[in-house]
Amino acid sequence: MRTTIELSDRHRGILHALSSERGLRGYSRIIEEAIDFYIKEKALKDNTVQELLQLKGSWSTEEGERIKAKLKEVREDWRI
């Protein structure tokens, strides 16, 4: 399906360069891949957030405080 989208000159230039590297005549395939990637990542993020929200309240207050203290301790020992 054909449609019109607005692209900045910078994005258009990058897309042309990428399509040229792949030996493509246009950049429709690259746009399609980018949209597929975005949709998959968005769905993955949404699922992860939902899974985490379902865990809310599964630890007791004491367990939560113990874990928080342990994380703080571990972070203090990290080396950059």
Q: Write down the domain spans for the chain.
A: 9-76
The pTM (predicted TM-score) of the whole model is 0.55
The pLDDT assigned to 80 comes to: 61
Q: At what angle do helices 28-55 and 9-22 cross, to 10 degrees?
A: 110
∠ CA(57), CA(61), CA(65), 5° rounding? Answer: 120
The pLDDT assigned to 45 comes to: 85
Residue range 21-58, pLDDT digits in tens: 999 999 999 999 999 999 888 888 888 878 877 888 88
